[in-house]
Amino acid sequence: MPSYRAPVDDTLFLLNDVLQLQRYGNLKGFADVSPDVTGQILAEAGKLCEEAFAPLNQSGDATGCKRGADGSVTAPAGFKAAYQAYAGGGWISLPVPEEYGGQGLPYTLSMAMNEFASSANMAFAMYPGLTQGALAALLTHGSEEQKKLYAPKMAEGRWSGTMNLTEPQCGTDLGLLTTKAVPRGDGTYSITGQKIFISAGEHDLAENIVHFVLARAEGAPAGVKGISLFIVPKIVPGADGSLGARNGVSCGSIEEKMGIHGNATCVMNYDGAQGFLIGEENRGLNAMFVMMNEARLGVAVQGLAQSEVAYQNALAYAKERLQGRALTGPKYPDKKADPIIVHPDIRRMLLEIKAFNEAARGLALAAALDSDVAHRSGDPAARQAAEDRLGLMTPVLKGMLTDVGFENAVKAQQVFGGHGYIREWGMEQFVRDARIAMIYEGANGIQALDLVGRKLPREGGRAIMAFFKESAELLGAHGANEAMKPYVVPAQSALGDLQKASMWLMQNAMAKPDNAGAASYDYMHLLGRVALALMWVRIAAAAMEKKAREPETAALMDAKLVTARFYMERMLPETALRLARIVAGADTMMSLAPEMF
Ligand SMILES: Cc1cc2nc3c(=O)[nH]c(=O)nc-3n(C[C@H](O)[C@H](O)[C@H](O)COP(=O)(O)OP(=O)(O)OC[C@H]3O[C@@H](n4cnc5c(N)ncnc54)[C@H](O)[C@@H]3O)c2cc1C
């Protein structure tokens, strides 16, 4: 059976020493979390994930969710108690403002919990995760009355949330959606249509489910300009929050799928269900984007989370499994063979995963911190800068963390040899579960297009120009320090590749959109690799300082420095490959007619 230890110490190092959370004490909710309190919160989060959620991961995968003849859905055994522990522990309400029943603490801490919970049990963590995304959309775009009615119950976990975009004929292209919303004359709407692939669409964990549904109001324009967002509760509440009548929404079936079997992926049928408009008619996509952006970061972290738990198990296996001898002669002559961790190729795989995980965690936490600044800072310039960074980095993190997260789950499986293919070890489940994160919440190709087509050109390229400026400042601040050169010099060179790629796009994409489309995936990964390198520069600088200040941490900090060097020497050179592909342009790719494939 696989095991899991939440990386609490590593997360605390990132929060306290690298991102220096204590500098943000002026943000609402941050003054309450001293490093000690943060430590206690994360230790508690880690314990819950290790003890309550991880033990249900394999059993939930084996049994999956069951749909009864009446359309009710039962989550795997143990999920209900686990959900109550999650909600009861205040983990959903943690970042929600106090006036809506929350604790008003930093979202950054939620991000850490999301990672731990997704490593422990990704299918389970999606139930509260979707509720958090739905809450974000409600709090940004809902009316005061809607917020007061729904938010406290959702923050408590008594009511869960879903997002309903996809229909059989409408996936990426939301303009094709046909679910109808007809005014009832009392300010509410009748919603009719079918949604597919709806995560946590029906289950027995919460007493009510609040569906956030995209639909087209009668007479609305075609395409994305005619989409509105509705709240459609499974049970319609009275104004006082008491549960009323069952609404006309039901689960038609549960999708049979490759992984995350513990999460009910439902076909949802809306049959004249009562819906309540959020925001204005035809502005639904705008409101849903809040939820989607939140969810994209959540999905990014799912990639990291599967990479982390797969790594931990591969590392333990590599230290125990005896096969062959070290190339330089036996390292453990008293044993029949050496543990496989002596082999350079095993180390390559382990270090590639480790070097990714530790910096990717830093990027995910930094993005969450930007979200906190964007929502809570009193300084408009700081808010704007954080929003720009977050907008730029969200598609990059979604695309890169889930692509590499999946590759890493496969790599960790490889460390197990044939045993990685055998169900009992749990490695094949990590591979199956990690795979979906590349697809949903906007397939990764769409993230790349969002980055190149929308995020880069926005406001005359303000976000990417700020990224270049901040990167140059970071590298400049450490460039004169001899000890930092092994990190700063390669990062500088990779940043140069990114600048060249950005310049090429500016010169070649406007007149010829296929050049942008053909370059987008490599550009997303190129930017991601540079961001990881810059995070490693920050980690290396923090590690050197910490080692000097607290000599007892020397071994841990030295491991960080070696891992940073590994990243720079063996992983970062990928930026040159990405640049070469980008500047190759679209001509060859687009010249093959469909019938010539
Ligand atoms: C397990 C699971 C859970 C899900 N949960 C939810 C949920 O809770 N709520 C919800 O609403 N949906 C959910 N989805 C749906 C998911 O978000 C969609 O599957 C996804 O957005 C892609 O849509 P599609 O499957 O229709 O693929 P398509 O849109 O048909 O895309 C097929 C391929 O074409 C590419 N493509 C499409 N358009 C373009 C373009 N313009 N340019 C370049 N490439 C393009 C895509 O990247 C993709 O690779 C879930 C799906 C699964 C499998």
403: amino acid identity, one letter: D
Number of H helices, E strands in the chain: 17, 11
Alpha-carbon distance 213 to 525, whole Å? 32
pLDDT mean across residues, the chain: 97
Identify which of 446, 447, 514, 524 to mutate to test ligand 1's pocket (most ligand atoms within 8 A of the CB): 446
- Measured from the Cα of 445, ligand 1's closest atom is 47
Q: Which residues contact 525 (CB under 8 A, 6 or more apart)?
A: 399, 400, 403, 574, 578
Beta-strand relationship, 243-246 and 235-237: antiparallel
Q: Does 550 score more than 90 pLDDT?
A: yes
Q: Is 440 in the pocket of ligand 1 (CB under 6 A)?
A: yes
Q: At what angle do helices 554-566 and 485-508 cross, to 10 degrees?
A: 40
Residues labelled as active-site residues: 441
What pLDDT does 327 receive?
A: 97
Residue nearest to atom 11 of ligand 1 (CA): 165
If you measure from the C-alpha of residue 172 to the centroid of ligand 1, how many angstroms do you get, rounded to a whole number? Answer: 5
Q: Is 166 in the pocket of ligand 1 (CB under 6 A)?
A: yes
CA 281 to ligand 1 center in whole angstroms: 25
Is residue 364 within 8 A of residue 488, CB to CB? The reply is: no
In the predicted structure, residue 237 carries a pLDDT above the cut 90: yes
Distance from residue 195's CA to the centre of ligand 1 (Å): 13
* 529 CB burial (10 A radius; 0-12, 13-18, 19+): buried
Question: Per-residue DSSP letters for 447-479?
Answer: HHHIIIIIITTHHHHHHHHHHHHHHHHHHHHHH
Atom in ligand 1 nearest the alpha carbon of residue 170 = 26
What per-residue confidence (pLDDT) applies to 103? 96
223 neighbors 466 (Cβ within 8 angstroms)? no
Query: Which of 439, 524, 122 has its CA nearest to residue 304?
Result: 122
Residue 285: its pLDDT value, please?
Answer: 85
DSSP code for 18: I
Q: How large is the average pLDDT for residues 453-481?
A: 97
Which ligand 1 atom is the nearest neighbour of the CA of 200? 8
Strand pairing report for 235-237 and 189-199: unpaired
Q: Give the pLDDT confidence score for residue 68 in this predicted structure.
A: 97
- Three-state DSSP class for 160? strand
224 pLDDT more than 80: yes
Arithmetic mean of pLDDT, 188-205: 98
Q: Rounded distance, CA 386 to CA 369, Å? A: 8
Q: How many whole angstroms from 530 Cα to the centroid of ligand 1?
A: 27
Res. 581 pLDDT band, cuts 50 70 90: very high
User: Which of the four pLDDT bands, split at 50, 70 and 90, describes residue 272?
Assistant: very high
Whether pLDDT at 289 is above 80: no
Dihedral of CA atoms 445, 451, 454, 458 in degrees, nearest 10, equals 180
Q: Provide the pLDDT for residue 295.
A: 83
Mutate to test the pocket of ligand 1, among 195, 440, 441 (most ligand atoms within 8 A of CB): 440
171 lines ligand 1 (CB under 6 A): yes
Is 13 close to ligand 1, i.e. is its CB under 6 Å away?
no
Which helix (DSSP H) or strand (DSSP E) does residue 265 occupy? strand 265-278
Backbone dihedral region for residue 29 (phi beyond 0: left; psi -120 to 50: alpha; all else: beta):
left
> Of 249-253, 397-401, 509-513, 558-562, which gets the smallest average pLDDT?
509-513
Share of the chain above pLDDT 70, in %: 100
**Cβ–ligand 1 contact at 172 (below 6 Å):** yes
User: CA of 265: how far to CAs of 134, 423, 446, in Å?
Assistant: 17, 22, 22
> Residue whose CA is closest, atom 4 of ligand 1?
197
Cα separation, 242 vs 236, whole angstroms? 9
DSSP letters of 96-158?
A: S-GGGTS----HHHHHHHHHHHHHHHHHHHHHHHHHHHHHHHHHHHS-HHHHHHHHHHHHHTS
For residue 290, what pLDDT is reported? Answer: 72
Quote the ligand 1 centre to 90 CA distance (angstroms). Answer: 32
b (16+ CB within 10 A) / e for 578-595 = bbebbbebbeeeeeeeee
- The string of pLDDT tens digits covering residues 487-538 is 999 999 999 999 999 999 999 998 899 999 999 999 999 999 999 999 999 9
Query: Tens digit of pLDDT for each residue in 60-108?
Result: 999 999 999 999 999 999 999 999 999 999 999 999 999 999 999 999 9
Sequence-separated (6 or more) residues with CB below 8 Å from residue 117: 45, 49, 53, 86, 91, 124, 125, 128, 129, 305
Q: Which residue has the tokens 């969200």?
A: 394
Distance 402 CA to ligand 1 centre (A): 15
Is residue 592 over pLDDT 90? Answer: yes
442 pocket-lining for ligand 1 (C-beta < 6 Å): yes
Average pLDDT (147-158) is 97
Mean pLDDT of 23-46: 95
pLDDT of 291 above 80 = no
pLDDT at 286 (0 to 100): 81
Q: For ligand 1, atom 49, name the residue with the nearest CA.
A: 443
Atom of ligand 1 nearest to the CA of 130: 8
| Rounded mean pLDDT, 203-209 | 98
158 vs 313: CA distance, rounded Å: 34
Nearest CA to ligand 1 atom 18: 440
